[in-house]
Amino acid sequence: MADNIITPEFRAGFISIFKATQQKNDDGTLSAPKFSVRACFPPDSDFDAMVEQVNRVVKDKFGDQPPKNWRKPFRKNEELDKPVQGIGDDWVIMTFSANEDRRPGIVDAKLQDIIDSSEVYSGAWYRAQVRAFWYEKKGNKGVSFGLQNVQKLRNDDPLGGSNIPASKAFDAVPTEGGSKTAGGMFD
């Protein structure tokens, strides 16, 4: 059985940690709701620990006789039917997911729980705790990674058409006599 491991740093091309979402299947039906993150790794990322876990899963299941044409979880952006916009073709893309009944935890760089969903967006930098597993589904077979937990490391520009945070959308402007914010209106 594979161990939980921590991924290298990645930018999220898509992230759904607070609410499980459904994806459209090739036949037009919807999948079961899942928590997921589409992880975009820079080309110089160190995947040694992840490759070791993939090889371990295959060896545990098949010994020295792995099946032919099994899918590995590492794909370059340029190989995808729908590449992630805003990153290079040579970035490595993986999707990590968890079933609807197993919501991953999410913390910030200081290990504080993130409770505001607006803090978690596509384009920010993260790392994840994942576990490799073998799958066979609709004629496809291979190794993927189950999502256990996520850590947000730092902010960056949004990817894939996400809304930018309001603090980046505007320039600061000088005010006279203080501002009338919701918190200060009733003082």
- pLDDT tens string 130-167: 999 999 887 789 999 999 999 999 999 988 655 566 66
Contact 149, 35 (CB under 8 A): no
- pLDDT tens string 92-121: 999 999 999 999 999 999 999 999 999 999
Show Cβ contacts of residue 115 under 8 Å, excluding neighbours closer than 6 positions.
none
Chain centroid offset of residue 166 CA: 23
Separation CA 120–CA 107 (nearest Å)? 10
Contact 50, 126 (CB under 8 A): no
3-state secondary structure of 100: coil
CATH number of this structure's domain 4-169: 2.40.50.140
Per-residue confidence (pLDDT) for residue 24, from 0 to 100: 75
Confidence grade of residue 184 (pLDDT, cut at 50, 70, 90): low
What's the rounded mean pLDDT across residues 40-63? 95
Per-residue confidence (pLDDT) for residue 138, from 0 to 100: 77
Amino acid identity for residue 157 in this structure: D
- Please tell me the least confidently modeled range out of 34-48, 61-75, 105-119: 61-75
Strand runs (DSSP E) across 86-155, as ranges? 92-99, 105-107, 125-137, 140-154
